[in-house]
Structure 1
């Protein structure tokens, strides 16, 4: 029995690769989310906004665009790093206010 030769593209088993193409920014969003979580929290809001936009595009495509899991990972990492950024900013503001009011000033205490 003669079988046709495998196509020059697709999977290594000779079948063409079908399925939706990943969103063009899926890997970028995931990398930004992870970097925002680990190194620079200022990248978190960027990953959050880009992730939300990409998720909306994936949902609106009706299955024509894939990569939802990569986008979701970057989106969640962006949310977490944004929350950590807000908490860090609030902590710094609190410390500055307490220092200005003299609560943390050690020279004003009398022993």
Structure 2
């Protein structure tokens, strides 16, 4: 007894999203934290601490809510940019203070 060859019918992939949960939300401060973080690195390092604190607060709110947010990565990136900018600003201020101290000591000695 011989069987006919089995040829499976072609099918399209299912038309649904692979995420099975409540719809993702967007945190209202996500874009603000990201923009402040980038601007603190590029333009004005005094914006770094603001991006850092706003990003930390937003991440805390996201973690406490228990819901998934679609812009968590943006908030993390802005916060990290704010941290880097704040550290660079602190190092710069230390160098300026050291330079002023050396200048004052040198001027007083002559």
State TM-score, norm by structure 1: 0.74
The count of aligned residue pairs is 90
> Which residue of structure 2 aligns with residue 78 of structure 1?
82
> Which residue of structure 1 aligns with residue 55 of structure 2?
51
Instruction: Say yes or no: does 1:37 pair with 2:59.
Output: no
Segments of 5+ residues of structure 1 without an aligned counterpart are 1-12
Structure 1 range deviating more: 58-67 or 87-96: 58-67
> Which residue of structure 2 aligns with residue 97 of structure 1?
101
State TM-score, norm by structure 2: 0.75
1:10-21 paired onto structure 2 within 5 Å: 19-21=23-25
Contact 1:58 1:66 in 2 (8 A): no
RMSD: 1.9
Bigger Rg over Cα = 2
Segments of 5+ residues of structure 2 without an aligned counterpart are 1-14
Which stretches of structure 1, 4 residues or longer, exceed 2 Å deviation after superposition? none
